[in-house]
């Protein structure tokens, strides 16, 4: 490594963690104030409405009908709307708390899993200024709660594996956090189901570790199971969400139009004869019909589906937003927040290539020295494969970015072991 770079990293390593937390706070505060009370992502309107319904009617859903879905974001936003009125800015400012928690998690996770204070400091610095943590941390979406709970839960699971399950409190904390991640975004529950299966298979020879994992899994299952039972009572289905089928339909039968914009794909669904008469059915019944149609398309067009998977792989791992993509803009949908497309591309190119390439490389290197971090690798792969099959875009890569930052931090720290 060049001496100038080595000297720079040495000076940065000597900086106070308080400085980076303060910088993280200021950047996020400025961004939240810039966003104000407007709505910028189309999904924000859904979470905003859910939070208001909790405040006004004490129901998760509409005024007249309860619904399934991810309750954590809506419940969290409703706290601030209840105290400060219908002002999205209040909820954005409330997100500063989990935003800064994520920065702390990144710092300590890298320090512990990499067994390097320098790696922890690098992760702290990167996560403090990473533009997409700041961007999605200001939006009334599920991203920030999901990032916090999933990142912390996976970290604690890895720590439990390293300790051979000795710390029962850690095992409980891991299971609870991973369950709350599933209640922040239901895909987290699907992903963890596969990871639990592999972790139990790998750990089957250690009785003490299995006991710790069972405690973790039991906490995870109880929390998710309780919400699933609530959904069965209120909506008639045990499903954690009622949008999986339509999302798969977007990624298969309606792939090309969904590449233009999901709003366009949704309008086409409404005009298709096969779905014209299902609007009055319960949401879970509608979703079952969408699942069936999506799987039928996949069976009948296997070659086309494989080509779609290739394009969705590119969408997931691409370094910058598509320059030609059409966005429907309205008072509730301005995802570029006033920036030109060229500005978004530039911001992406300053961070994504570096973090993806060195993050994946660093995770491979770290896995060779600390094999108990394999749940991290499984989570990265499972998140990718899930979106390769369903709907894929850069936004859905965000949950793996904490672990790519972990890999990048380890890689950079390994180049300068004497600092």
Q: What does the pLDDT profile of the chain (419 residues) look like in tens digits?
A: 566 667 777 777 788 899 999 999 999 999 999 999 989 888 899 899 999 999 998 888 777 677 888 999 999 999 999 999 999 999 999 999 999 999 999 999 999 999 999 999 999 999 999 999 999 999 999 999 999 999 999 999 999 999 998 999 999 999 999 999 999 999 999 999 999 999 999 999 899 999 999 999 999 999 999 999 999 998 888 888 888 888 999 999 989 888 887 778 888 888 888 787 787 788 888 889 999 999 999 999 999 999 999 999 999 999 998 776 666 666 666 777 777 778 889 999 999 999 999 999 999 999 999 999 999 999 999 999 999 999 999 999 999 999 999 999 999 999 886 66
Structure tokens at 215: 């405690």
Nearest-angstrom CA–CA distance, 92 and 412: 33
Nearest-angstrom CA–CA distance, 256 and 125: 39
The reported pLDDT for the residue numbered 187 is 96
337 φψ region: left (φ > 0), alpha (ψ -120 to 50), beta (else): left
The reported pLDDT for the residue numbered 110 is 97
Nearest-angstrom CA–CA distance, 360 and 6: 22
In a domain, 389, yes or no: yes
Dihedral sign, Cα of residue 126, residue 131, residue 132, residue 135: positive
Nearest-angstrom CA–CA distance, 193 and 321: 31
In a domain, 72, yes or no: yes
Nearest-angstrom CA–CA distance, 404 and 133: 13
CB atoms within 10 A of CB 16: 8
Biggest CA-to-CA distance, the chain: 69
Domain holding 117, by residue range, is 3-242+320-415
Looking up tokens 């398309």 gives 297
Residue 409: what are its φ and ψ, rounded to 5°?
-65, -40
CB distance 344 to 336 below 8 Å: yes
In a domain, 357, yes or no: yes
In a domain, 268, yes or no: no
Predicted TM-score (pTM) of this structure: 0.94
Number of domains in the chain: 1
The reported pLDDT for the residue numbered 2 is 62
Residue whose C-alpha is closest to residue 288's, from 251, 253, 252, 246: 246
Looking up tokens 């390593």 gives 13
In a domain, 310, yes or no: no
Q: HSE on the CB side for 168, CA within 13 Å? A: 4
The rounded Cα 318 to chain-centroid distance in angstroms is 17
Query: In this structure, what DSSP letter does residue 61 have?
Result: B
Query: In this structure, what DSSP letter does residue 371 have?
Result: G
The rounded Cα 70 to chain-centroid distance in angstroms is 12
In a domain, 269, yes or no: no
């Amino acid at each position: 490594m060049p001496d100038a770079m080595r000297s720079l990293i040495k000076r940065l390593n000597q900086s106070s963690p308080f400085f980076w937390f303060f910088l993280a706070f200021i950047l996020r505060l400025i961004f939240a104030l810039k966003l104000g009370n407007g709505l910028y992502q189309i999904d924000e309107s859904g979470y905003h409405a859910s939070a208001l319904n909790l405040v006004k009617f004490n129901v998760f859903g509409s005024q007249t009908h309860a619904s399934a879905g991810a309750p954590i974001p809506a419940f969290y936003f409703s706290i601030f709307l209840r105290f400060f009125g219908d002002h999205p800015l209040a909820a954005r400012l409330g997100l500063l708390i989990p935003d800064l928690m994520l920065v702390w998690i990144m710092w300590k996770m890298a320090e512990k899993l990499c067994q390097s204070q320098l790696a922890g400091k690098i992760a702290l610095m990167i996560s403090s200024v990473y533009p997409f943590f700041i961007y999605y941390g200001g939006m009334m979406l599920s991203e920030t709660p999901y990032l916090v709970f999933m990142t912390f839960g996976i970290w604690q699971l890895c720590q439990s594996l390293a300790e051979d399950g000795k710390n029962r409190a850690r095992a409980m904390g891991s299971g609870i956090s991973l369950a709350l991640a599933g209640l922040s975004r239901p895909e987290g529950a699907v992903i963890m189901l596969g990871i639990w299966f592999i972790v139990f298979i790998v750990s089957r020879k250690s009785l003490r570790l299995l006991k710790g994992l069972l405690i973790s899994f039991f906490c995870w299952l109880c929390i998710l199971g309780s919400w699933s039972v609530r959904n069965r009572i209120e909506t008639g289905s045990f499903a954690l969400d009622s949008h999986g089928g339509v999302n798969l339909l977007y990624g298969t039968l309606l792939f090309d139009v969904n590449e233009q914009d999901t709003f366009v794909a949704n309008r086409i669904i409404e005009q298709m004869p096969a779905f014209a008469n299902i609007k009055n059915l319960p949401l879970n019944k509608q979703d079952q019909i969408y699942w069936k149609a999506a799987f039928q398309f996949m069976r009948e067009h296997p070659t086309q589906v494989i080509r779609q998977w290739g394009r969705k792989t590119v969408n997931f791992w691409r370094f910058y937003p598509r320059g030609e993509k059409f966005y429907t803009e309205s008072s509730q949908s301005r995802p570029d927040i006033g920036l030109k497309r060229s500005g978004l591309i530039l911001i992406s190119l300053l961070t994504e290539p570096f973090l993806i390439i060195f993050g994946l490389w660093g995770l491979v290197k770290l896995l060779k020295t600390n094999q108990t971090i394999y749940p991290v690798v499984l989570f990265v792969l499972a998140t990718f494969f899930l979106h390769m099959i369903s709907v894929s875009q850069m936004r859905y890569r965000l949950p793996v970015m904490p672990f790519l930052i972990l890999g990048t931090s380890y890689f950079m720290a390994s180049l300068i072991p004497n600092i």
